[in-house]
């Protein structure tokens, strides 16, 4: 019985997964001891505690508990279990995952172990990298500038985990400046050691000793020009040794100026297109102009969302005194953090660009209103034209019905039946005049009736004839 159970357990080891394979080895060891004990006589032997070798801690492979010797074991007490019988040497459990077959050899080539030096209760850089392994890109490409505007790292890929550790950031914070993600809202995030900015085409991470400008999110020509202009302006602002303004204020002002300038430029381009289109519509309306008007309105709506996002991002910081005081990262790095009420310089600078955002929003709404009015007028003109066509179609149908009534009379008189009307000398003129009278009578009567109906419905069709 024991031999059959031993053979069954030994053959099943091959089917065990990695996690339970070691437990199966321990179970097979117990069965092996029972098998040998059944073949050998039981003697009073000194109990030999069995200890299973324990491997190095691996976070991906669970550890097996070790069998410690019993402290209360009495050496003089005779063995009461067959497990204390003399046994053959136990096979040593190797460090790699695998299994022991019926031949007694270890097979572990197909189960390679994952070696690591991880310790309990400590988060390392590798942990952060593994936690973000599901993201698209593990790096952020950008250009780093020091406090004097000198390029310290040009077009370099920075590890996300390193940025999070150095600046006390969460991985979700970097999503705000990630160029691989589209349709992101504009925002200014104030953290303990850094400021994350995403405004218009500018995405940057501002520290007390450096600023990291993220690479341009798109490859369009205009975006590349705005990005190059911003870098040139930033180097000029930081390279002035006579300017004693704090580093973060100079960087934030350069970012705000570049973002607002790009929005103003885009608005000027849209206004030029809208002015040209409105002038062409005054001359005449065509399907091409209607298509351009639709595309222009969509462009204005999308641009309005960007401007409102720019303004709301600044307003969110202005309404939070803690964020305003926390934007002084240089003083915090020097151990002199500002109190909640001490943020006058940063507040004045942000207030200036909020007003610029308000002006842009008002201009966009005004131009968008003009386009909406023009579209409504075009709709009225098209409705008028459609009504004219409807009235013309009705008149044509009425004329056809009137002529059909005269044709009915001609058909009746044209039958090859004797009616003795042909004997009258002037009967043709009489029938022709009577037919014309019937045609005009039916037509004008129907038109007059239609006029009363359309006038009652609010459509005065007589005006369309002019």
Instruction: Grade residue 112 by pLDDT with cuts at 50, 70 and 90.
Output: very low
Average pLDDT over every residue of 80-102: 43
Claim to verify: residue 407 and residue 368 sit in the same structural domain: no
**Residue, of 209 and 91, whose pLDDT is higher:** 209
Q: Are residues 150 and 68 in the same domain?
A: no
Q: What's the rounded mean pLDDT across residues 456-462?
A: 47
Q: Is 221 in the same domain as 256? A: yes
Q: Phi/psi at 439 (nearest 5 deg)?
A: -60, -50
d(CA 10, CA 30): 12
Which residue range is the domain that position 47 belongs to? Answer: 2-107
Task: Tell me: do 372 and 390 sit in the same domain.
Answer: no
Cα–Cα distance measured from residue 260 to residue 253, given in angstroms and rounded to the nearest whole number: 10
CA 373 vs. chain centroid, Å, equals 34
Residues 393 and 377 in one domain: no
> What span, in angstroms and rounded, lies between the C-alpha atoms of 250 and 137?
31
- In this prediction, residue 38 carries a pLDDT of 55
Give me the mean pLDDT over the 415-440 stretch: 78
Kindly state the average pLDDT of the residues 426-453: 82
Token pair for 323: 């964020």
User: Per-residue b/e over 146-157, b at no fewer than 16 CB within 10 Å?
Assistant: ebebeeeeeeee
End of a domain among 323, 346, 381? 381
Check whether residue 132 and residue 99 sit in a common domain. Answer: no
Q: Is the pLDDT of residue 170 over 50?
A: yes
> What CA–CA distance (Å, rounded) separates 466 from 107?
101
DSSP category for residue 50: -
Domain-embedded: residue 40: yes
Say if residue 69 is exposed, middle or buried (CB neighbours under 10 Å; 0-12, 13-18, 19+).
Answer: exposed
Structure tokens, 25: 């080895």
Residues 347 and 263 in one domain: yes
**395 inside domain:** yes
What would the pLDDT profile of 220-242 be if each residue is shown by its tens digit? 788 888 888 999 999 998 988 88
Q: Domain check: are 266 and 361 in the same one?
A: yes
Q: Which residues pair with 449 in a beta bridge?
A: none
Residue 133 in any domain: the answer is yes
- Residue 412 resides in a domain: yes
Q: pLDDT class for 459, splitting at 50, 70, 90?
A: very low
Residue 190 and residue 84 share a domain: no
Asked if 174 and 243 sit in the same domain, the reply is yes
Residue at a domain's end among 48, 72, 107: 107
- Taking the CA atoms of 324, 327, 329 and 330 in sequence, report the sign of the dihedral they define: negative
Is beta strand 210-214 parallel, antiparallel or unpaired with respect to 139-146? antiparallel
Predicted confidence band at 211 (pLDDT cuts at 50, 70, 90)? Answer: very high
Q: What is the pLDDT of residue 379?
A: 87
Res 79 pLDDT > 70: no
278 and 196 in a common domain: yes
Structurally, the chain folds into a number of domains equal to 3
Domain for residue 46, yes or no? yes
- pTM of model > 0.95: no
* Residue 72 in this model has a pLDDT that exceeds 70: no
**Structure tokens that stand for 83 in this block:** 């497990």
- Residue 120 forms part of a structural domain: no
Residue 130 scores a pLDDT above 70: no
* The domain boundary residue, chosen from 357, 381, 405: 381
Q: Please report, for the domain that includes residue 223, its CATH number.
A: 1.20.58.340
More confident residue, 290 or 98: 290
Judge if 197 and 330 occupy the same domain: yes
What pLDDT sits at residue 137? 57
Q: How far apart are CA 193 and CA 126, in angstroms?
A: 22
Q: Does 115 map to a domain? A: no
Confirm whether 114 is domain-assigned: no
* Highest-scoring range by mean pLDDT, 71-80, 302-311, 386-395: 302-311
Please report the pLDDT score of residue 454 as a whole number: 67
Give every CB contact of residue 413 below 8 A, 6+ residues apart in sequence: 419, 421, 431
């Amino acid at each position: 019985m024991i031999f059959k159970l031993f053979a069954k357990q030994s053959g099943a080891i091959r089917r065990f997964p990695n996690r339970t394979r070691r437990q199966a080895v321990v179970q097979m060891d117990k069965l092996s001891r029972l098998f040998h004990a059944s073949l050998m006589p039981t003697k009073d032997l000194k109990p030999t505690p069995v200890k299973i070798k324990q491997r190095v801690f691996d976070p991906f492979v669970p550890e097996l508990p070790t069998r410690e010797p019993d402290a209360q074991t009495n050496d003089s007490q005779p063995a009461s279990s067959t497990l204390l019988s003399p046994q053959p040497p136990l096979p040593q459990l190797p460090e790699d995952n695998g299994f022991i077959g019926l031949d007694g050899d270890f097979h572990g080539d197909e189960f390679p172990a994952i070696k690591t030096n991880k310790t309990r209760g400590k988060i390392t850089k590798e942990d952060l990298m593994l936690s973000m392994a599901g993201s698209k890109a593990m790096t952020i490409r950008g250009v780093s500038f020091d406090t004097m505007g000198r390029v310290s790292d040009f077009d370099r890929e920075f590890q996300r985990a390193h940025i999070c550790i150095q600046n006390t950031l969460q991985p979700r914070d970097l999503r705000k400046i990630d160029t691989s993600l589209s349709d992101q809202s504009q925002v200014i995030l104030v953290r303990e050691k850094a400021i994350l900015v995403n405004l218009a085409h500018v995405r940057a991470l501002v520290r007390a000793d450096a600023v990291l400008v993220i690479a341009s999110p798109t490859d369009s020509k205009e975006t590349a020009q705005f990005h190059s202009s911003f870098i040139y302006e930033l180097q000029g602002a930081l390279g002035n040794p006579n300017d004693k303004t704090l580093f973060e204020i100079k960087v934030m002002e350069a970012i705000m100026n570049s973002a607002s300038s790009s929005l103003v430029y885009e608005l000027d381009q849209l206004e030029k297109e809208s002015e040209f289109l409105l002038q062409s519509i005054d001359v005449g309306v065509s399907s091409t102009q209607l298509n351009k008007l639709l595309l222009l309105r969509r462009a204005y709506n999308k641009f309005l969302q960007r401007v409102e996002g720019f303004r709301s991002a600044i307003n969110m910081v202005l309404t939070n005194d803690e964020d305003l005081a926390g934007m002084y990262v240089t003083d915090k790095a020097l151990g002199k953090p500002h109190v909640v009420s001490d943020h006058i310089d940063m507040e004045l600078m942000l207030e200036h660009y909020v007003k610029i955002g308000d002006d842009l929003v008002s201009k966009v709404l005004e131009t968008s209103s003009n386009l909406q009015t023009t579209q409504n007028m075009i709709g009225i003109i098209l409705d008028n034209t459609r009504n004219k066509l409807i009235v013309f179609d009705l008149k044509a149908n009425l004329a056809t019905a009137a002529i059909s009534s005269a044709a009915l009379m001609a058909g009746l008189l044209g039958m090859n039946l004797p009616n003795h009307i042909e004997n009258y000398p002037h009967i043709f003129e009489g029938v022709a005049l009577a037919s014309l009278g019937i045609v005009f009578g039916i037509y004008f009567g129907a038109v007059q009736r239609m006029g009363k109906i359309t006038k009652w419905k609010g459509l005065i069709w007589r005006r369309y004839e002019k």
